[in-house]
Amino acid sequence: MSDIGNDIVISGMAAISAAGVGLDSLREALCRGESLLKPVPADILGESGHLWGKADGFRAVDFIPPLKARKFDRCSQFAVVATGMALKDAGIEPAALDADRIGIVLGCGFGGIANSEEFLRGYFTAGAEGLTPMLFPNTVPNASASNASIEHGLKGPNVTFVQRFCSAESAFMMACRFLQEDRADIILTGGVDELTPAMLRGFAATGQLRRHGAGFGEGAGILVLEKGSHARRRNAPARGSVGCVRTIGRLIPGQEGEGADRLLAGVTDASLVGLSGTAAGEKQLLDRLPAVTRLETAPLIGRSIAMGGLAMTALVLALRPGCNGLHLAASPEGPYYAIDFRGGNPVQP
Amino acid sequence: MRKTAAIAAKSMMVRKRIAITGLGIFSAAGKDVPSFSGSLLAGRCAIGPIDLFDVSPFAAGIGAQVHGFDPLDHFTAKQAKKLSRADQFGVIAAGEALGNSGVCGCYSPYDIGVSMGAGAAGMLQAEEWLKETLAGKKGNPSLLRGLLPDRTSMAIAAAYNLGGYLGSITTACSSSATAIGWGADLIATGRLKAAVCGGSDCLSILTFAGFNSLRVVDTEPCAPFSLGRQGISLGEGAAFLVLEDEESAICRGACVYGHVLGYAVAGEAYHMTAPEPSGADAARVMTAAMNQAGVSADEVGWVNAHGTGTPLNDVVETKAMKLVFGNRAMGVPLVSTKALTGHCLGAAGAIEALATVIALNEGVIPQTLNFRGADPDCDLDYCHPGAKQSAAKVALSNSFAFGGNITSLVLGI
pLDDT tens digits for A74-83?
999 999 999 9
Determine the Cα–Cα distance for residues B342 and B46; give it in Å rounded to an integer: 7
Question: For residues A167 and A107, is the Cβ–Cβ distance under 8 A?
Answer: yes
pLDDT band at A5 (very low <50, low <70, confident <90, very high): low
Helix residue ranges per DSSP H, B221-347: 246-251, 280-293, 311-325, 338-341
Per-residue pLDDT at B11 exceeds 50: no
Determine the Cα–Cα distance for residues A220 and A25; give it in Å rounded to an integer: 13
CA distance B273 to chain A (A): 7
Mean pLDDT of chain B: 95
Per-residue pLDDT at B6 exceeds 90: no
Count of residues making up chain B:
413
Residue of B nearest to A116 (CA): B206
For B22, the enclosing helix (H) or strand (E) is: strand B18-27
Question: CA dihedral defined by B158, B163, B164, B167, rounded to 10 degrees?
Answer: 40
- Residue whose C-alpha is closest to residue A101's, from A254, A233, A191, A262: A233
Per-residue pLDDT at A218 exceeds 80: yes
pLDDT digits (tens, 9 = 90+) for B302-328: 999 999 999 999 999 999 999 999 999
Residue A242 has a CB neighbour count (10 Å cut-off) of 26
Q: Indicate which residue of B45, B104, B106, B173 is catalytic.
A: B173
Residue of A nearest to B129 (CA): A202
How large is the average pLDDT for residues A75-95?
Answer: 97
The set of residues, in sequence order, having a beta carbon less than 8 Å from that of A332 and lying 6+ positions away, is A164, A165, A212, A278
Q: What percent of chain B has pLDDT over 90?
A: 95
SS3 A65: coil
Whether omega before A66 lies within 30 degrees of 0, making that bond cis, reads: no
**Per-residue confidence (pLDDT) for residue B145, from 0 to 100:** 87
| b/e code A314-326 from CB counts within 10 Å (16+ = b) | bbbbbbeeebbbb
Question: For residues B289 and B410, is the Cβ–Cβ distance under 8 A?
Answer: yes
Question: For residues A219 and A314, is the Cβ–Cβ distance under 8 A?
Answer: no
CA distance A85 to chain B (A): 18
**Per-residue confidence (pLDDT) for residue A345, from 0 to 100:** 83
- Residue whose C-alpha is closest to residue B4's, from B240, B252, B355, B253: B253
Determine the Cα–Cα distance for residues B119 and B176; give it in Å rounded to an integer: 9
Q: Indicate which residue of B104, B197, B222, B306 is catalytic.
A: B306
Determine the Cα–Cα distance for residues A303 and A213; give it in Å rounded to an integer: 8
* Contacting residues of B for A147, CB less than 8 Å apart: 272, 403
Any CB–CB contact under 8 A between B58 and chain A?
yes
pLDDT digits (tens, 9 = 90+) for B18-53: 999 999 999 999 999 999 999 999 999 999 999 999
pLDDT band at A348 (very low <50, low <70, confident <90, very high): low
State whether A108 and B170 contact (CB < 8 Å).
yes
Q: Give which of B213, B214, B270 to mutate to test A binding, by max A Cβ within 10 Å.
A: B213
Residue of A nearest to B139 (CA): A205
| b/e code B385-396 from CB counts within 10 Å (16+ = b) | eebbebebbbbb
Residue A194 has a CB neighbour count (10 Å cut-off) of 26
CA distance A138 to chain B (A): 8
SS3 B374: strand
How large is the average pLDDT for residues A32-44?
Answer: 95
* Contacting residues of B for A143, CB less than 8 Å apart: 272, 402-403
State whether A142 and B171 contact (CB < 8 Å).
yes
- Residue whose C-alpha is closest to residue A150's, from B282, B169, B266, B118: B266
Per-residue pLDDT at B54 exceeds 60: yes
> What's the DSSP call for residue B233?
-
Per-residue pLDDT at A2 exceeds 50: no
How large is the average pLDDT for residues B345-356?
Answer: 98
- Residue whose C-alpha is closest to residue B50's, from B219, B174, B226, B216: B219
Per-residue pLDDT at A89 exceeds 50: yes
Identify which of B114, B118, B264 has the shortest CB distance to residue A249: B114
**Per-residue confidence (pLDDT) for residue A291, from 0 to 100:** 84
**Per-residue confidence (pLDDT) for residue A211, from 0 to 100:** 86
**Per-residue confidence (pLDDT) for residue B62, from 0 to 100:** 98
Per-residue pLDDT at B14 exceeds 80: no
**Per-residue confidence (pLDDT) for residue A346, from 0 to 100:** 79
**Per-residue confidence (pLDDT) for residue B12, from 0 to 100:** 37
ipTM: 0.96
pLDDT digits (tens, 9 = 90+) for A121-179: 999 999 999 999 999 999 999 999 999 999 999 999 999 999 999 999 999 999 999 99
Per-residue pLDDT at B15 exceeds 60: no
- E-strand stretches of chain A: 8-17, 20-21, 38-39, 51-53, 102-108, 158-161, 186-193, 216-217, 219-227, 240-248, 272-277, 293-296, 324-330, 336-343
**Per-residue confidence (pLDDT) for residue B151, from 0 to 100:** 96
- E-strand stretches of B268-355: 300-304, 334-335
* Contacting residues of B for A160, CB less than 8 Å apart: 169-171
Determine the Cα–Cα distance for residues B332 and B325; give it in Å rounded to an integer: 8
How large is the average pLDDT for residues B248-274?
Answer: 97
DSSP bridge partners of B389: B364
Residue B394 main-chain phi, psi, to 5 deg: -135, 140
Residue B327 has a CB neighbour count (10 Å cut-off) of 7
How large is the average pLDDT for residues B87-108?
Answer: 98
pLDDT band at A212 (very low <50, low <70, confident <90, very high): confident
Question: For residues B229 and B310, is the Cβ–Cβ distance under 8 A?
Answer: yes
SS3 B114: strand
Task: Enumerate residues 322 to 351 of chain B having a beta carbon within 8 A of any beta carbon in chain A.
Answer: none
How large is the average pLDDT for residues B175-196?
Answer: 97
The set of residues, in sequence order, having a beta carbon less than 8 Å from that of B251 and lying 6+ positions away, is none
DSSP bridge partners of B304: B335, B397
Determine the Cα–Cα distance for residues B216 and B233; give it in Å rounded to an integer: 9
> HEC states along A95-106?
HHCCHHHEEEEE
**Per-residue confidence (pLDDT) for residue A347, from 0 to 100:** 58
**Per-residue confidence (pLDDT) for residue A79, from 0 to 100:** 98
